[in-house]
Structure 1
């Protein structure tokens, strides 16, 4: 197993750093996604870190299109990465269209983008859950035994990198590596609270309404949150008969 870890670390080290992007955990995660996609013949790879009971998400991805696919699961609240995080087990979908009943909204949206297979791996250590690593393929088919071992090792290295980055951050400072690429950061929590008051509901319903709005209007969840905080967008309670 140690040899596989060294091999994965070598592959990550071969990925180029982004121009103008400071070295750090965020760049390490982006390079890890790139290495995973190349090594596992994936069209893209995304990594999501869940913080505070899954209320906040931080994503790294190989490219903007994959970042959008990763974010879509968070917006909809359904998909392989959501299930992998909830069950603490890999979710392997070699034929996406066969999972339409399982994720009736997510599957058609992702299938339309050309994705045909998705493989999600939880990032966890002991009882602690950190997030998920996802692989997207444009062709159907299961991962081979060697590919599965490699994917699990990428997830293991991701956990070690995240923990190492956290351990070296000053108390109360994430050093930027937990900056939310959805653009929301603390605004997501603030917007959720504001929508809860507007609806006279609870936090869960507030988040559900924001997600539904983001999906219906093809917008990012973080952008919706920013509009709520800036009072450019308000939500009205649903009138019940």
Structure 2
């Protein structure tokens, strides 16, 4: 599903002047999901080398979930960065998940993470180690996200991308003026 661009623009504008815009946006996403989920936002550079940095995390599962994927180089975020579509894992106990990410699944479950949903906003051609943002939703119970929750996550991911692009453009303007 394509996110209505206008909705993402309005959302990004709401958080643009916050002292920590990424943190503010992630907290707003968690609130919009009725705090039933934890939310992480990572800037990813290369899936093959697992070059990611967490920009913000809200909720008790987000920091450990982000750290696991960053440390292990496997998990839904890495797959979403590499393959582009959202990676929606409604139950980490599922056999296919354990086969796909054996270490991540085991450690995530040990942290209390039961379901993970990664929403990428990527830049660059497929198969080139694209850069982008990954908004990840973590939950302590299995089950799919509702359509409304998926739409909320998509919108917040695109708003985060707009915030990043605005920050990069602003930094570019600062160096041009110097």
TM-score strictly above 0.5: yes
Q: TM-score range by the shorter chain?
A: 0.7 to 0.9
Partner of 1:78: 74
Partner of 1:109: 107
- Determine which of 1, 21, 26 is the counterpart of 1:28: 21
- Provide TM-score, normalisation by structure 1: 0.59
Instruction: Tell me whether 1:49 sits opposite 2:52 in the alignment.
Output: no
Give deviations 1:90-124, integer Å, cap 9, x for gaps: 00011111111211101111111111110001122
Larger Rg: 1
Gaps of 5+ in 1: 18-22, 174-241
What is the Cα deviation at residue 137 of structure 1?
0.7
Residues matched between the structures, number: 161
Partner of 1:149: 151
Instruction: Tell me whether 1:66 sits opposite 2:59 in the alignment.
Output: no
Partner of 1:39: 32
Q: Any idea what SS the aligned residue of 2:100 has?
A: coil
Whole-angstrom distance in 2 between the partners of 1:80 and 1:52: 14
Gaps of 5+ in 2: none
Q: Any idea what SS the aligned residue of 1:147 has?
A: helix
Contact kept, 8 Å, 1:8 with 1:150, in 2: the verdict is no
Structure of higher RCO (CA pairs closer than 8 Å, 6+ residues apart): 2
Give deviations 1:142-188, integer Å, cap 9, x for gaps: 11112211211111111111111011014797xxxxxxxxxxxxxxx
Q: Any idea what SS the aligned residue of 1:100 has?
A: helix
Contact kept, 8 Å, 2:26 with 2:40, in 1: the verdict is yes
Contact kept, 8 Å, 1:4 with 1:150, in 2: the verdict is no
Matches within 5 A, 1:1-241: 1=4, 4-5=7-8, 8-9=11-12, 13=15, 23=19, 27-41=20-34, 42-51=36-45, 56-59=51-54, 60-62=56-58, 66-98=62-94, 99-125=97-123, 127=125, 129-170=131-172
More strand by share: 2
> Structure 1 residues 139 and 7 mapped into 2: Cα distance closer, same or farther (>3 Å)?
farther
- Provide TM-score, normalisation by structure 2: 0.77
Whole-angstrom distance in 2 between the partners of 1:71 and 1:31: 20
Q: Any idea what SS the aligned residue of 1:156 has?
A: helix
